[in-house]
Amino acid sequence: MELQPEIESDRISDPSWSRAKDVVIKQMSVPSHLSSLMRSSWGHIPLDKNLLHYISSTTIGAGLLFDVAQPEVFGDGSTVVSGEDALKILGPKLVAAILTVNFTCRLILRHKPPATWERLFKEMMLDIEIGVAIGRRIPSIGPEGGIAIGFSKRAALCFLMTAFPKLFAKWYLNHYKSGSRDAQIDIFGCEYYQVSAFILQQLGFGSEVAVGAALGMGAVDSTFLTVTDETRKWKAGFLWFSALKHGRSFPADPKIRDFFPELKLGQNRKNTMLEVLYTEVATVQRDGGQWTWHLPRPSYEQTQVYLENEEWRKTKDS
């Protein structure tokens, strides 16, 4: 897959994009069945039912889908006894997003990351829960889109951590809290939002999601990008996520604020759905991320023990 999210490379002299691309392609090769599922569900290509059956019958796929189809995660209260049941409840697009997160986390762990991985994973899942809450209120984004939005930043930081462990330790200690963009360029040669864009595209979310991420997370000059209405939607989604994550009522840009009809304020400056969303995001922030379906074991403690066993790194991801 070509990793250049609609950026006209012949018009850009910024080497940071090439650096970010290298960070991703040197670490990520997506399994064919996951790539096919993403292309089908996110690219509107006819879905191979045999592929869904295969995924729901594998050891990792069946167990993961069973877990996430429970009512406290993505389930609707229906009885789930198999991966096939979970597929019917979740739908292929949400299943694909869930599998990509699980695959990416397992991939990161295979690189023997430093202890910082646990904090980044917990922050990632907190962000995913917030993203899902937002996506559930915006049908054009959906919970699967909320996963993509919440997942991408911490996934990128993890890729930088495994690509440049010593440099990342220095950056994390001195610059993580400040979020200095100049420090990222100075230390890594690229910024996390660039890595995020390439991760999303490599996983199969598509160039419009990837470009939307770049526009929403970084100060990107859109002159060099192909910006469609779909891209603008994802940009708005990322900016809404950032606003709510950081305790703001809505994005500063009025156009972004009014982009989604479901979140627009009425004449009385009220929106019941938005008020509910504020409460949902605040609850997630207060309680912390509760989901562990991204881990190879049920808890962080059990996963740490699992990581100490070198044999697991030799197993293939399903």
Q: Please report whether residue 184 resides in a domain.
A: yes
Q: Are residues 39 and 181 in the same domain?
A: no
Task: For the chain, give the number of residues.
Answer: 318
Residue 14 lies in a domain: no
**Same domain for 307 and 181?**
no
Instruction: Please state, in angstroms and rounded to a whole number, the distance separating the CA atoms of residues 121 and 260.
Output: 29
Residues 228 and 300 in one domain: no
Do 144 and 278 lie in a common domain?
A: yes
**In-domain check, residue 19:** no
Contact 223, 175 (CB under 8 A): no
- Nearest Cα residue to 19 out of 198, 183, 272: 198
Same domain, 198 and 312: no
* Range of the structural domain that residue 87 is part of: 26-110+293-318
Whether residue 145 is found in the same domain as residue 198: yes
Q: Residue 251's pLDDT is what?
A: 95
- Amino acid 288 reads G
Number of structural domains the chain divides into: 2
| Burial of 165 (C-beta count, 10 Å sphere; 0-12/13-18/19+) | middle
User: What's the confidence (pLDDT) of residue 177?
Assistant: 85
Q: Where are the alpha helices (DSSP H) in the chain?
A: 16-25, 32-43, 49-57, 59-68, 83-90, 92-110, 116-137, 142-163, 165-175, 181-188, 192-203, 207-217, 229-245, 254-257, 272-287, 300-307
pLDDT for 311: 59
- Do 214 and 261 lie in a common domain? yes
- Predicted TM-score of the model (pTM): 0.91
Question: Other C-beta atoms within 10 Å of 101: how many?
Answer: 22
Q: Are the C-beta atoms of 109 and 256 separated by less than 8 Å? A: no
Q: Tell whether 200 and 226 lie within a shared domain.
A: yes
For 225, phi and psi rounded to 5 degrees?
A: -125, 150
Q: What is the pLDDT of residue 69?
A: 85
For residue 18, tell me if it sits in a domain.
no
Mean pLDDT (10-residue bins), the chain, 318 residues: 45 80 95 88 76 68 81 79 79 91 95 94 97 96 98 98 96 87 93 96 94 88 77 97 95 94 87 94 91 92 86 55
13, part of any domain: no
> CA-to-CA distance for 202 and 269, rounded, in angstroms?
41
